[in-house]
Chains A and B, each alone.
Chain A
Amino acid sequence: MSATATARRWVFAGALVLAVLAALRLVVPAGSVPGRMLASVLDVGYASSVLRLTVPIAFAALGGIFAERAGVINIGIEGFLIVSALTTVIVARRLPWAGVTGPAALWLAFLVGVLVSVAVAAVFAVLVVRYRSNQVIAGLAVWLIALGLAPFITLTLFDSSSPTIDTFGTWSVPLLSELPVVGPVLFDASPTVYMLLVATPLAWYALRYTRLGRRIRACGENPKALATGGVSVSRVRYAGVLISGVLAGVGGAGFTVGQVGTFVAVGQTSINGRGFLGIVAYLFGNYNPFAAVGGAMLFAGFDSLQLRLQQIGALDIPAELFGILPFVVVLVTITLVRRTRVPAALGEPYEGEE
């Protein structure tokens, strides 16, 4: 993938956000209702909220990158997010019975959430690598099963369809959090935000400079080249999918215990398409971790925007219409930004090994 193509995407994303805001600024007289709306968007709270909402989408995107660059279509990433989110809530609610309480319980719940996501990823990996199932169908199955089981399990275990738990809250970094604007946004944030800030460059580095990373990239492009180099394609694909499970698990569990403190087992669940947005984010970012997280941020920006516009309630528009805003942006983005370079061997089961 060329660096210039990636840069072009970034410029496009930034320009889109700025253009929307600038257009609003110009059109809207200060002090009017829309003016107040605009003011409420252009503040520190908005920035923090965007960053928070970015986390699950971005982790889904990073997870997707690892699977797809290894050559496995991971359309079930939404399912990974759902199972890890649900597991986290269950564990966090059950642990106090075992005498574990407070932050320790939350972290344990988080960890178990990630592990269950990895377990689901392992099953998925066996299906698509070992048994060469159709990757799209297996992925959809993961999602549909998660979507079907989640409300059932929730209603069986709890008396509400949206059980709540505590959250990590925010961690302030001493001194740095005192900085204007940047401080409250970046350094007084949920630990999951910090995880993302660490995971993104790590993912980029891993793909570019580590042995496994290079093999993962080769595996998605030309698995035969890898096999003739004496490396097991299956193993690399397992590794890619399992890493995908870890990252998606962090996304789902982190979203639940790091931000919302609940799992809503209604409709699309509280995950509500964030895994799918993650997929669009990495396609948008051309499989580059930084650009993918940038894409996630773009969608989160519009997600947060629609939430705020709803809260203000100044416009007489049904909430559902606001709700589709991020998805409209997705459609516009994938229409306008087209040159995604998909790994050449993506979705093809590797036949060379017995």
Chain B
Amino acid sequence: MDTAVSLTDITKRFDDVVANDEVDMRVERGAVHALLGENGAGKTTLMNVLYGLYRPTAGEVYVDGDRAEFDSPQDAIAAGVGMIHQHFMLVEPMTVRENIALGWEPVTHGGLKTDDARIDTEVRELSERYGLGLAGDLDTPVEQLSMGARQRVEVLKALYRGADVFIFDEPTAVLTPQEVEELFDIFSQLTAQDKTIIFITHKLGEALTAADGITVLRDGERVGTVDAAGTTREQLAELMVGREVLLDVDRAARGASGDDTRLSVSDLAVTDDRGEPAVHGVDISVRGGEIVGIAGVDGNGQEPLVEAVTGVRDADAGTVRFDGEAVTGLSRRERLDRGLAHVPGDRQEQALVMGFNLVQNAVLGSQHRPPFGRRGRIDWGAAREHAEAVIEEYDVRPPNPDLPARSLSGGNQQKFVVGRELSREPDVVVAAHPTRGVDIGSKEFIHERLLAMREQGAAVLVVSASLDEVVQLSDRIAVMYEGSFVDVVPGDAATEEQLGLLMAGEQPDEPVPTGAGR
């Protein structure tokens, strides 16, 4: 076997921050290699070096045994390195054909027309050869495709540009479990024809399932390279975090109190920004001391549902009740005053003012009431104390309340937001993607806090794109598909596969036992 990619002693420094510190990595041709690490471990930076987006401060890159000095992604592409970014580099309103050829369009008629016939022949041939199944969709605008299909468009685009080495950045983040399996099939198709795959992930299971070799990064340094075969999740987790990690939440062992329905939603219908019906006929009730998880592929109405429950968006029909009292007509502030805590899905857009410091951010949502707000003025002393308490309790780093929210990493921003919201001593907690973008260690902690809320008798509604998370936390799971619940199942009765099918809008062959029901 020969080496397709070899990175030797790569160091990448941004001013004073060392993102990669003498990292070595070798990938054989035709192999699948996982680059594993927590957020901020330097995985993406390392791959951006390989893809020509960054020049390494020190160290050397070899592709096919040749020394490569890429000044731009174009150089990398020319050397046969393609990258499939986490956020697809696709132009949504444009067709599959237009997207695949973008920047590489052959032309006819003296340059007056793109040679679509030629693009089509080539793309069909590639789609066939690698089993990508896109030959019939060339005229479809990308925005009409599922996330899985969009990813295949990206793969096809890289193939069209002549890639031999494929870098996937967190490729499973937007996929359903079935689509993940399809993706791993595509990996096999590619490697069967001697293509090489490197994929970035922080999910242990995926690295173990899909990869041959695994390189683990921590704090910018390579802490180990292992064969997937013969390595356990626990070993990987320890390598990744640097200490032993509790991978599974033990929900059963935790007490829960309260029995009354604290949050109930009946026959809810919501319209999204485009004026399309996004949620319809949703019924759910959450008891005190219960966590209900909403599983589903992103974009199936979870966001409008959460917004309607928390008062960010008006419902078209239906009722939301807190402790039996209808709050549908109440504003967001009135709902907060009635014991709501809301962790929004998009922390930078909805939870924090990026230019405000943590003291200012700490009082958002409570600025009008004691102890912070008094007669229209804010008591900044109380606010600072509160911010410091949240920072301390949730281990927000760096622990400096005077820093603007912008300067924190995503994971720390998230911890701060969760801390602020849960410190309201809420009766109803609505958390959308509570651990999105946070590392395993912080995730463990946030889960812990949510379970503590449950213990204290709050009704907790969790929305997450991560099936693991929903399964681990939830007493009951509602699966959302195209704006309504396809099923509500007990948390410990459903298998991931069954949930995956429900998430794709299909009924599993073997019905999930419905112990608790709705």
Contact = CB atoms under 8 A, between A and B. Distances in A.
Given A211-B111, A214-B105, A215-B103, A341 B77 contact: no
Contact of B74 (A218, A226, A230): A230
**Chain A interface, DSSP helix/strand/loop, else mixed:** helix
Interface string B66-84: 0000001110010000010
A210 interface: yes
Q: Which size bracket describes the interface of A in this complex?
A: 20 to 34
Contacts of B85: 228
Contacts, number: 64
Given A211-B105, A211-B107, A229-B103, A217 B113 contact: no
Contacts of B77: 230
A198 to B, nearest CB: 15
Contacts of A230: 72-74, 77, 103-104
B91 A221 contact: yes
A218 B98 CA distance: 9
A341 B92 CA distance: 12
Interface in A91-146: none
A185 to B, nearest CB: 31
Nearest to A227: B73
B127 interface: no
A21 interface: no
A217 B94 contact: yes
A341 B275 CA distance: 13
A224 B111 contact: no
B114 interface: yes
Q: Which of A221, A224, A225, A226 has the largest number of chain B CB atoms within 10 A? A: A225
Contact of B99 (A209, A211, A225, A344): A225
Contacts of B92: 221-222, 344
A153 interface: no
B228 to A, nearest CB: 30
B114 A231 contact: no
A222 B99 CA distance: 11
B253 interface: no
B90 A225 contact: yes
B17 interface: no
Interface string B93-126: 1100011001111010001111000000000000
A214 B112 contact: no
A1 interface: yes
A209 B92 CA distance: 17
A225 B91 contact: yes
B150 to A, nearest CB: 12
Contacts of A226: 91, 102-103
B89 interface: yes
Contacts of B105: 211, 214
A205 to B, nearest CB: 9
A339 B89 CA distance: 25
Nearest to B115: A211
Contact of A209 (B72, B74, B83, B113): B113
A225 B111 contact: no
Given A209-B114, A210-B112, A230-B74, A222 B104 contact: no
20 contacts: A211-B107, A214-B98, A214-B102, A217-B93, A218-B94, A218-B98, A218-B102, A222-B90, A222-B91, A225-B89, A225-B90, A225-B99, A225-B102, A228-B73, A228-B83, A228-B85, A229-B103, A229-B104, A230-B77, A231-B102
Interface of A: 1, 209-211, 214-215, 217-218, 221-222, 224-231, 339, 341, 344
Given A210-B107, A231-B103, A344-B92, 19 more contacts: A209-B114, A210-B112, A210-B114, A211-B114, A214-B94, A214-B98, A214-B114, A215-B103, A217-B93, A218-B94, A218-B98, A218-B102, A222-B89, A225-B90, A225-B91, A226-B103, A228-B85, A229-B103, A341-B93
